[in-house]
Homo-oligomer: A and B are copies of this chain.
Amino acid sequence: MLTLADARRVIAAAEQKAEEIGQPMNVAVVDSGGNLVAHVRMDKAWIGSIDISINKAFTARAFDLSTKDLAAESQSGGQFFGIHVSNGGRVMIFAGGIPLKRDGEVVGAIGVSGGTGEQDQTVAEAGAAAF
């Protein structure tokens, strides 16, 4: 089980990293069913990233891998090209979504959106590390 307290701890760590690098972010956490547990949009973070952060978290749980790794296989010519239109357009294929594991099992995921791919990834990693 991933609790709301877990989600808040993950989000707090992500926010702290976002402040450190000076880039406001949207941060979302989903549970093992891919369903949203909590989301925050930091002041001045992009509104277009609300949906992206939630769906990066969904994607990382839906396929039990980071969206950064999924991206590598989902470009034109790759084995999963086209996956981004599946699941009603909820599959995000760029960095910022990371599965959250407990005892080796994926029990949820974090999704971050609001900066460059590298910034999103950095913030998501900071969040995941707090889980």
Contact = CB atoms under 8 A, between A and B. Distances in A.
Interface residues of A, number: 55
Contacts of A117: 79-80
Nearest to A39: B39
Interface string A20-46: 000000000001111111111111001
B87 A52 contact: yes
A59 B63 CA distance: 21
Contacts of A37: 40-41
A85 B89 contact: yes
5 contacts: A36-B50, A48-B87, A49-B62, A52-B86, A88-B88
Interface of A: 3-4, 7-8, 31-43, 46-52, 55, 58-59, 61-64, 71, 74-77, 79-89, 91-95, 116-118
